[in-house]
Amino acid sequence: MPPILVEHVIFDLDGTLVDTRKAVEECYRYVFTTVLRQTFPPSSIDAHVLYAMRPLEVFSIIAPELASLCFDAYQRQYPSASAEVILYDGARDLILAVLDAGRKPSLVTNKGLARTLIDLDRAGIDLASFTAVVTAEDTADRKPHPAPILLGLQRAKAAAADAVYIGDAPHDVAAAQAAGTRSIAVTYGFYSRAEMSAVGADLVVHDIPELASALGLDVKASAP
């Protein structure tokens, strides 16, 4: 399939540019141990699904009456846990390649602004690289609702037909489709290759160099 050569390249964050699984796990373990006095992970939520959920959603299921308290504790722990955030190999180079090609990268994530800024700083990604940034505080609705991507398009002054959204979750592809953009599903994030191959994205890729090729760019993985 030919590469997607649109001007506006919109990225998800977790599972797409950065691997936050260990940081998220550290925060959950802290909250479950100190606030809930429970063992983590909880048996009531499938461990695979848990990491793809937003923290407040998890706490609302586990302990609805303590959800806000738990989320506050999670937020306080995240700056320390962010030492575990890992930049996917080639992700920063891919953003630079998009810019060097005269195209416009943006960021649309369900994550809150404070933790987004921590992740970008940890990964060495300059916020100014992005034409538009949309985080959890910016829209009442979250992906898979198209509102975050639509706001990203508005802020970037982009038409949906001239944009592609890249994410690692089924709700990323659903949001892109609802917003009218092309979509690329990556399989190296929080969801499996089988799951992401079945969601109907325009393209499915398995690593950053392959993602770059899908955008008509050339980014090499670092030597092992």
Distance CA(79)–CA(108), nearest Å, equals 21
CA dihedral (37, 38, 44, 46) positive or negative:
positive
Q: 192: phi > 0 → left, psi -120 to 50 → alpha, else beta; which?
A: beta
Q: Please, are residues 107 and 134 in contact by the beta-carbon 8 Å criterion?
A: yes
pLDDT per residue, tens digit, the chain (224 aa), is: 799 999 999 999 999 999 999 999 999 999 999 999 999 999 888 877 787 788 998 999 999 999 999 999 999 999 999 999 999 999 999 999 999 999 999 999 999 999 999 999 999 999 999 999 999 999 999 999 999 999 999 999 999 999 999 999 999 999 999 999 999 999 999 888 899 999 999 999 999 999 999 999 999 876 55
Closest CA to 133 of 106, 115, 96, 164: 106
Query: What is the distance between the terminal CA atoms of the chain, rounded to a whole angstrom?
Result: 29
Mutual angle of helices 55-62 and 67-81, in 10-degree steps: 140
Exposure b/e, 135-171, CB count within 10 A at least 16 = b: bbeebeebbbbbbbbbbbbebbebebebbbbbbbbbb
Q: Please, are residues 175 and 145 in contact by the beta-carbon 8 Å criterion?
A: yes
Q: Which residues pair with 18 in a beta bridge?
A: 14, 87
Superfamily assignment of 8-19+86-214 in CATH?
HAD superfamily/HAD-like (3.40.50.1000)
Would you list the domain boundaries of the chain? 8-19+86-214, 21-84
pTM across the whole model: 0.93
pLDDT of residue 123: 95
